[in-house]
Amino acid sequence: MLSFGYQILWNHLLCLIELQGLDPYQACLHQTSERHAALASDLIEEFRAPIIDSLVLSLINKKVMDATRDFVYRNSGCFLNDSGRAKFLHAFLQRMEEEIQTDSGEKQPRWDLFVQQVKAYKQFVYNPQMLYKPYRIY
């Protein structure tokens, strides 16, 4: 579930990075290569725990996922099956549409965090005096 969630988040960030006109292969934290969009890997780091890790723990603790019905076990691995992916995606979309309070006191869906952070990173790239401030969990 963690890997699946990270990949969903990574792909969403990659789209936002490209929409902002940034080069997704140039990054600060992860090694750049022509086969890996390292900037998406950089920007995902601040969202792993508050978005995906907490979602996975919630799905497990609330017994939403069923080990026998939502997973398939093969090749020494455990993978989400169609039922498990559908449950995970439903829960992920619900989580992302939940409104959170910003530093300024406004409410916004979690989706907006990604757009804001990609824009903040772009501003930093073009104006390094404007330091990049990562998203923090409150």
Q: For the chain, which residues make up each domain, given as ranges?
A: 2-126
Mean pLDDT, range 96-124, rounded to an integer: 91
Mean pLDDT, range 80-94, rounded to an integer: 98
Q: Global pTM?
A: 0.89
What pLDDT, on the 0 to 100 scale, is given for residue 41? 94
Task: Say what percent of the chain tops pLDDT 70.
Answer: 99
Mean pLDDT, range 66-77, rounded to an integer: 95
CATH of 2-126, one of 1.10.3720.10, 1.20.120.920, 3.90.930.12, 3.30.230.70: 1.20.120.920
What pLDDT, on the 0 to 100 scale, is given for residue 138? 63
pLDDT band at 74 (very low <50, low <70, confident <90, very high): very high
Strands 107-109 and 99-101: antiparallel
Residue 116's closest CA among 132, 138, 127?
132
Q: How many CB atoms lie within 10 A of CB 12?
A: 16
> How many whole angstroms separate alpha carbon 63 and alpha carbon 75?
25
Give 108's strand partners: 100
Residue 96's closest CA among 40, 54, 42, 36?
54
Specify whether the CB–CB gap between 69 and 83 falls below 8 A.
yes
Taking the CA atoms of residue 51, residue 15, residue 103 and residue 55 in that order, the dihedral angle to the nearest 10 degrees is: -10
Specify whether the CB–CB gap between 55 and 43 falls below 8 A.
no
The amino acid at 65: M
